[in-house]
Amino acid sequence: MNFTGRVQFRRLLCLIVRQNFNSECENAINKQIHLELKSSYDYLAMASHFDRCDVALPGLYGFFKAASAEEHEHAAKFMEYMNKRGGTVLLEELPAPQFKFTTPKAALEEALNMEKTVNESLLALHALASKHNDPQLCDFLETQFLTEQVDAQKQLADYIRQIERCEKELGVHIFDNDIKGSKIH
């Protein structure tokens, strides 16, 4: 079977699996995958920044590296879900991270903004699934993502407040040691 034949055969198989999966939801999931991968990429850039020898904050490095891995895992969950529902994953090019931060607090604020953006996108996807009467997608979002997003936002807000209390050199060092080994919820 040639390539074109294999693509047509795959589409036929996907039609067999596909049930109550609106194309609008499929498109929105592809956008969510892109957002999760972009967040992973941005967190990886943050981790790299804090691992530099002129910054040397291993706690923040580990925290942001774990956040990157978690966002990547979220994208993978969406891709697996898409395939289960008979959809097609369409990956897009990721833009380079655009943020410029000069302090750990600014990085944490950027992370909180990213988490809010991801959460808003998840809520919009949930509303779209409800509009198209797709309880399976709603359940997937509720059980896999929504609670975790609220927990992550709370954790980042707490970290921002804690670092505001100790923005001097020694305070940042102590804060950095306190978060070693923690990961975003």
List the domain boundaries for the chain.
Answer: 20-179
pTM for the whole structure: 0.84
pLDDT of residue 131 exceeding 60: yes
pLDDT of residue 18 exceeding 80: no
Which is nearest to 85 in space by CA: 9, 11, 26, 158? 26
Tell me which H or E stretch contains 182: none
How many angstroms separate the CA atoms of 22 and 20, rounded? Answer: 6
Which CATH fold would you assign to the domain 20-179? Ferritin (1.20.1260)
How many angstroms separate the CA atoms of 45 and 51, rounded? Answer: 10
The beta strand positions in the chain, using DSSP E, are none
- Tell me if 78 sits within 8 A of 122, measured CB to CB: no
Q: What is the mean pLDDT of residues 108-136?
A: 97
- Tell me if 144 sits within 8 A of 77, measured CB to CB: yes
DSSP state of 87: -
- Tell me if 67 sits within 8 A of 41, measured CB to CB: no
**Proportion of the chain above pLDDT 90, given as a percent:** 68
The pLDDT assigned to 61 comes to: 96
Question: Which tokens go with 136?
Answer: 């399976």
